[in-house]
Amino acid sequence: MRPNLAIQAFLGLYIFIFFLYLFGPLVIMSVTAFNSAEFPAITPWECFSFRWFNEGKIAYDGQRLAGLVTDRPLHEGIVTSLIIAAGVVTLSVPIGMAAAIVLTQVNSRLRTLFYSMSIMPVLFPGVIIGISTVVLWDRIATLGGDGFISELGRNGIFLTILGQTCFISTYCFLIFVARLQRFDTTQEEAALDLGASQSQVFMKILVPYLMPAIGSSAVIAFLASFENYNTTVFSILSEQTLTTVIASKVRLGISPAISALALVIICLTLIGAFFYEISRRSNQRKKDRENKVKMFSEISGNRLVEEQPKFFKIPKSIFVFLLLLILAVLTWQQLIKNNMYGAECVEKAEASKKSNFADQLKLLQQNAESVEATDEGGAETGGSKEYNDIFGDPNLFKNFGGFDTDKKEEGESGATRSNEYNDIFSDPNLFKNFGGFDNKE
Amino acid sequence: MNSFYKKNGPVIATFFLVAIIFWLVFLIVIPQLYMLDLSFRPNLPPLLRGGPDDVYTLTHYKHFLYGSETSKDAYNYVDIGVFFDTIITAVLVTIINLCFCYPIAFYIAKLATPNTARLLVLALVIPFWINELLRSFAIRILFAGEGVINNILLELGLISTAVNFIALDIALYTGLTYAYILLMIFPLYNALETLDTNQLEAAKDLGSSTVRTHWRIVIPHAKAGIASGCTMVFMLTAGALATPVVLSSPNTYWFTQLIYQWFNMNDNWSRGSAYSIILLVVSVTFVLLMMRLFKVTIGEVVR
């Protein structure tokens, strides 16, 4: 069925837009990881830098923005996630396998019930699985007294493994069911007739047959566990996994370090997909060759002339890579030409920002002295277009509203105020970044 | 039971039984039942639990309907509003996803050459393996005040000042549509792939228009896939937490965020449980509705 040209063109356009929608946000996010500005954006482009992959930076307003390498909570979160994923894989793959094998053995009425129950967890919202695990185990821990059980029931990693196993087992179960549908049971019968024990049949026939399913369900279980958030956020209690670390980072304020992390994950995914495709193709080729050999040996006549395989065929994908390479080189040249790369550029940007910030503060103080209202005045006069999204936030100036408290002590209000902004002023690095602003006065 | 042991041998049979009972009873049934029980109990400190005050009550469900006893409104407009917002948005997202994905799934399953089809499927899977939070983050960058979309619109002169997409919830809706689009495509694709191309050709030869062919042949054939895709997308959207956490504006709530609040910030676990039960009931109702509507079994929905 070939549709006519107009429909084809329309379909092509539609598919192009669809994939643009799918990949566009990811590409843009990846690009922002290389922008040295504090806010992940493509415009205004500050400098090309790898700082978000390395050390991050201390922003001009004293906020510490960690890069990937220096981010301790992130590293700990990844380790916790790996532990949980390992636990989930070791639990859910055997469970899924056992359930799928038993499904083939029970009679049809029980079968429907059993199957419905097994797939139920997929239909539950993840949030609910997390909550139910926590409330149950909290109760068990309370009843269990002070011993091991109470510790176990309040251990976030243990609870998360249980919660995730609940629904990830279903994924494994479905993979095993699909594989078992094509299983030839006469193999088992033959083995039993030849005197094998049941355990031998299981280990020597069923498990090898299920090996591909074991592999793919382990991969699926690992990935599903690693990226789960909805269940984990409830069951993890006081610990932190990769996803909860990301979530708290995103909520606290968005930093390009998250883009850098995303880019790393995207690259890993792409590499995985690449190798998967390569292995699949080589398998396919091997199978084709075997088939051909078989065909030739079966048809011993010489009516079929073997096609001479070309030794080197240029894959079409190479053009895509070439195009990407050319684009990258062009962008790079543009960056060099406009002096938007390297330590110099970063330093310059920092300096201009610092002076800009000092100006802002000065303005703010003048306003504070002339007008009684300390907070809103600055926000109106300040905020050049470039820093709109940072300075446009009226809350920002609140933090610095207390700056002049040491000069005009206002008794009670001053005390509460300094109390309120404690965590900002207790940071010893804070005053460094203002370039000795106080000393001038 | 005896025949089960005989068939599998004692060791293997015990392993099977332990694994299945552990899963079905300890991981699936008991936690849900306990949560249901907790949702009917008052919120008590741990020491008072099991004491004389620990009686069954409907207070949490009443709170959802009528609000706290001190409020003046007749009904709990805030929570009910959030609830219906969530459900309606989830339904809309499901419908939008279905309309978006149908042409793509049809193209990959029936029109593309096998090689192209495989590459497209691979390309579809890649974004799906990237964390939901990070995908939402990408959408957030796109829709930020100085983000790409605002800049393009400003450049084109369509708007004069930057639009706050996050406050308007446009970012949230886009993010939700984006997050689960794959779970719509794959069931549709799987269903459409089994459709015999000869049927389409026969319909065309008999003079049926394209629209009519789709309405009378393709859609009825794909109905299990449609039911499955719609169910998955609706469930995941209604139960989403990651995307609303990243993308919702400060004054918009998603129902799961409400649950999260009761649970983690207000430390009222039994009310959190009651709200979870409400969400669960809606989800189960939706599944049953889809099964009835499309006349499919639960096995066809989850595949």
Return the higher-pLDDT residue of A223 and B161: A223
Domain assignment present for residue B5? The answer is no
Phi then psi for A122, rounded to 5 degrees?
-70, -30
Single-letter amino acid code for the residue at A57: K
Which chain A residues contact residue B120 at CB under 8 A? 15
Q: What pLDDT score does A85 carry?
A: 92
DSSP B242-288: HHHHHHS-TT---HHHHHHIIIIIS--HHHHHHHHHHHHHHHHHHHH
Closest residue by Cα to residue B17 from A95, A339, A259, A262: A95
DSSP A66-114: E-TTT-HHHHHHHHHHHHHHHHHHHHHHHHHHHHHHHHHHS-HHHHHHH
Phi then psi for A58, rounded to 5 degrees?
-100, 115
* Residues 48-67 in B contacting A (C-alpha not used; CB under 8 Å): 49
A19 in contact with B at a CB cutoff of 8 Å? yes
Which domain, by its residues, includes B170? 77-301
Please give the Cα distance from B47 to B49 (Å, whole number): 6
Both structure tokens of B296: 């499919």
A303 in contact with B at a CB cutoff of 8 Å? no
Task: Report the SS3 class of residue A408.
Answer: coil
Domain assignment present for residue B277? The answer is yes
A45 in contact with B at a CB cutoff of 8 Å? no
B240 in contact with A at a CB cutoff of 8 Å? yes
Domain assignment present for residue B128? The answer is yes
Domain assignment present for residue B43? The answer is no
Domain assignment present for residue B177? The answer is yes
Q: What pLDDT score does A189 carry?
A: 82
Q: What pLDDT score does A414 carry?
A: 38
Domain ranges in chain A? 72-254, 343-440
Return the higher-pLDDT residue of A155 and B43: A155
Please give the Cα distance from A356 to A98 (Å, whole number): 66
Please give the Cα distance from B109 to B125 (Å, whole number): 15
Q: What pLDDT score does A420 carry?
A: 40
Please give the Cα distance from A430 to A415 (Å, whole number): 20
Say which DSSP state A385 is in: G
Q: What pLDDT score does A88 carry?
A: 92
**What's the whole-number mean pLDDT along residues B136-148?**
81
The pTM is what? 0.77
Which chain B residues contact residue A270 at CB under 8 A? 126
B28 in contact with A at a CB cutoff of 8 Å? yes
| Gap from B88 CA to chain A (nearest CA, Å) | 17
Q: What pLDDT score does A400 carry?
A: 44
Nearest residue on chain B to A393, judged by CA atoms?
A: B145
Domain assignment present for residue B136? The answer is yes
Domain assignment present for residue B24? The answer is no
* Residues 372-431 in A contacting B (C-alpha not used; CB under 8 Å): 388-389, 392
A243 in contact with B at a CB cutoff of 8 Å? yes
Task: Report the SS3 class of residue A435.
Answer: coil
The topology under which CATH files domain A72-254 is MetI-like fold (1.10.3720)
* Most confident region among A294-298, B40-44, B194-198 by mean pLDDT: B194-198
Single-letter amino acid code for the residue at A416: T
Q: What pLDDT score does A421 carry?
A: 42
| Gap from A425 CA to chain B (nearest CA, Å) | 27
Q: What pLDDT score does A391 carry?
A: 44
In this complex, do B28 and A121 lie within 8 Å of one another by their Cβ atoms?
yes
Q: What pLDDT score does A87 carry?
A: 92
Domain assignment present for residue B251? The answer is yes
Q: What pLDDT score does B224 carry?
A: 83
| Gap from A86 CA to chain B (nearest CA, Å) | 17
Strand partners, A320: none
Task: Say what the ipTM of the complex is.
Answer: 0.85
CATH number at residue B184: 1.10.3720.10
The number of domains in chain B is 1
In this complex, do B20 and A99 lie within 8 Å of one another by their Cβ atoms?
yes
Q: What pLDDT score does A90 carry?
A: 92
Q: From first to last of its 441 residues, what are the pLDDT tens digits of chain A?
A: 455 778 778 888 888 888 888 888 888 888 887 877 777 777 667 677 777 776 666 665 556 666 777 777 888 888 989 999 999 999 999 999 888 888 888 887 888 888 888 888 888 888 888 888 888 888 888 777 777 777 777 788 888 998 999 889 998 998 898 888 888 888 888 888 888 877 788 888 888 888 888 888 898 899 888 888 888 888 888 888 888 888 888 777 667 788 888 888 888 888 888 888 788 888 888 888 888 888 777 766 555 555 555 555 566 667 777 888 888 888 777 777 766 666 666 666 667 766 777 777 788 888 777 765 444 444 444 434 444 444 444 444 444 433 433 333 333 333 333 344 444 444 444 444 444 344 333
Q: What pLDDT score does A44 carry?
A: 67
